[in-house]
Structure 1
């Protein structure tokens, strides 16, 4: 069942990505010869509306094959008003960007759906107060429920951290304890901490930790839209930063996961709950969008770079350079896939 869920989720994400390319290409009058979910030999295909729609044997990706643009033939040139080759560089960039953009839009839709169904989060309830901290001296205690900070109503634990780190000066905490509302004035202090990449940082803190109580947010449609936007931006930012940390060596290459890890995460989420599955699907969708924008020649980001070069210099890269960089791009991607699978297998044996 987990394998089937994995294939369905991945095919769903690939379909949206390629649909973005397809719609943008058709908007600019480019003929799309083939729309494929999967690679390799077709197991089902149907010709409709000028395009061959197919499912292929290897369900680990997909592609749209446009007239005048074929990644298996990087130097292909075809003429005609319906050819990718004859479109202006900015139009080609829009077509290329439309795929990753579709993944971001899909993630936002999924997060919006999660918000309406009832997103789970930590309650704004204190579990622990650090000794000799601003919260300790202000008299905050375990099980206190923070309901307001200054003029901002508090619904979840995340909101507490946002206000503390983004404001200046002292803060007024309105705390519910034994059915009474207490007002505490607290001056956050700059303290040592760690971010999600285990880097040492300094930030404003008051010395409290959550109780771990989980609540379900009840959001209106406007609030759900804000939730979806913030979650999509946060996920995109974290993935971009993660790639940067990986390149700089802060995150070891052993942390790279492959298709086995992705499959396990999707399978575990599907067994947990439908909302968990939607959350993982949204995160992977953002991941696909970000990764496809990397300036690697075999990816959308690499092709965008070629077109930006053409816009700036008023000439296309030479065929030799284009072919060499594209082949290098495929080699880089192949190495990353092999590394991911190698790490997956290592984890299986280590955990076994």
Structure 2
């Protein structure tokens, strides 16, 4: 069921983005009286799931869910209709239109993707606002238990101040900051220390497999979630949701402090002070020879941490007027972060290429339960990503056509049809190779 929910959201999001992207080409083509022969969601090699001709255009749904397309008369595209191109140009064809009109038609899809992403972010800011833990409110530093964080030279209690000289606003942006960054600055016991992010940090992150993700957590209180049946304290007055605030009279605030204290009393009978709702009480317990109490430890939700006085969360609500610049800034940051990651993918020494993913990776980022906020957040990200990728100057992508059209506008010389055909084939081969590599990565990770 979980896979079905994720897949359904992925297909819905992808279909929406493809249709609107192609509509971005379709509308200006129609405005400039250019014939559009096909408008398809997904590819229809050999046959279609559905098709209907309205006017000059066949609207349909293909069976290969790798994208979609509009087939514009007189344009060398993925259809590779060389027979049509061999005939004399007709007034309704793409190749007969002025260069500036062809440029607008080609940029239409990218324009729609960027506008859609910005619009969604604006509406999300207006509807939900922002709720996050400010990095500056993590006053006692981070909790380091992940080996990758240790490899960065971090220790529990460190405060991460900046990455690449930029102050970190949200605590949950730290991992992405390390992915995109080159160096960072921390405060440790009052001392400011500069550190370098290893060039192969992304490679190390990807190699963790399913555990890849957040590498740093804020420091959490010792909240008991369960008591095991073989625990020496199964009959002690301990309950789920109790918070340990002292061990043998020594006050503690965080779980990492508790473990240090317990190690002092291995295989001894001691007392722990627990906080249970509004009550504080001492409970006699037995410490194992491993320095454990035999209880489960859990991470409390952010709201509970705020209620208990551990962290002050930021809860920002926006009017519609305020949501516009907030959504714009979110869009710019999303695009900037994506470009930084793309640069690292093209640098083999970073190992970032190992993290390149296909449909499985994209589908997996959707939540296993329906959440409108999460769905639209991911769709906005994918829309901006799709817009940028299509703008790359690669033949077979919109960006390739844009480059050739700009060259014509600047030099006054139009590239020949044969050249455009060869460029289209070359670009298509590159895209297929990239697609195979990305989805091959997915399959490799799946079996590992």
Does residue 74 of structure 2 align to residue 63 of structure 1? no
The aligned length equals: 295
How many angstroms does 1:28 deviate by? 1.6
Query: 2:151 maps to which residue?
Result: none
Does residue 344 of structure 2 align to residue 245 of structure 1? yes
Which moved further from structure 2: 118-127 or 291-300?
Answer: 118-127
Q: Which has the higher helix share?
A: 1
Q: Deviations over 1:60-108 (max 9, x none)?
A: 2100111112412265536233211111222211111110110111111
Secondary structure of residue in 2 paired with 1:22? helix
Contact 1:33 1:51 in 2 (8 A): yes
Taking structure 1 as reference, are residues 243 and 258 closer, same or farther at Cα in structure 2, changes over 3 Å only? Answer: same
Query: 1:25 maps to which residue?
Result: 29
Query: 1:14 maps to which residue?
Result: 18
Query: 1:170 maps to which residue?
Result: none
Q: Find the aligned partners of 1:339 and 1:204 in 2 and give their Cα distance.
A: 37
Taking structure 1 as reference, are residues 113 and 287 closer, same or farther at Cα in structure 2, changes over 3 Å only? Answer: same
Q: Find the aligned partners of 2:71 and 2:176 in 1 and give their Cα distance.
A: 45
Query: 1:108 maps to which residue?
Result: 118
Query: 1:300 maps to which residue?
Result: 398
Query: 1:310 maps to which residue?
Result: 408
How many angstroms does 1:194 deviate by? 9.2
Secondary structure of residue in 2 paired with 1:253? helix
Does residue 183 of structure 2 align to residue 201 of structure 1? yes
TM-score when normalising by structure 2: 0.59
Query: 2:379 maps to which residue?
Result: 281
Taking structure 1 as reference, are residues 217 and 79 closer, same or farther at Cα in structure 2, changes over 3 Å only? Answer: same
Contact 2:117 2:384 in 1 (8 A): yes
Query: 2:365 maps to which residue?
Result: 265
Q: Find the aligned partners of 2:388 and 2:380 in 1 and give their Cα distance.
A: 12
RMSD (CA atoms): 3.1
The answer for unaligned runs of 5 or more in structure 1 is: 132-141, 143-159, 167-192
Does residue 96 of structure 2 align to residue 90 of structure 1? no
Taking structure 1 as reference, are residues 81 and 324 closer, same or farther at Cα in structure 2, changes over 3 Å only? Answer: closer
Secondary structure of residue in 1 paired with 2:414? coil
Contact 2:118 2:380 in 1 (8 A): yes
Q: Deviations over 1:1-24 (max 9, x none)?
A: 332222121111101100111112
Contact 1:242 1:251 in 2 (8 A): no
Query: 1:335 maps to which residue?
Result: 433
Query: 1:42 maps to which residue?
Result: 48
Secondary structure of residue in 2 paired with 1:280? helix
How many angstroms does 1:308 deviate by? 1.6
Contact 1:18 1:35 in 2 (8 A): yes
Taking structure 1 as reference, are residues 329 and 274 closer, same or farther at Cα in structure 2, changes over 3 Å only? Answer: same
Structure with max Cα Rg:
2
Secondary structure of residue in 1 paired with 2:344? helix
Q: Deviations over 1:189-247 (max 9, x none)?
A: xxxx994435423579897x977665543111111111111111111222222222222
Taking structure 1 as reference, are residues 96 and 280 closer, same or farther at Cα in structure 2, changes over 3 Å only? Answer: same
Query: 2:139 maps to which residue?
Result: 128
Given the alignment, which residue of 302, 316, 330 partners 1:231? 330
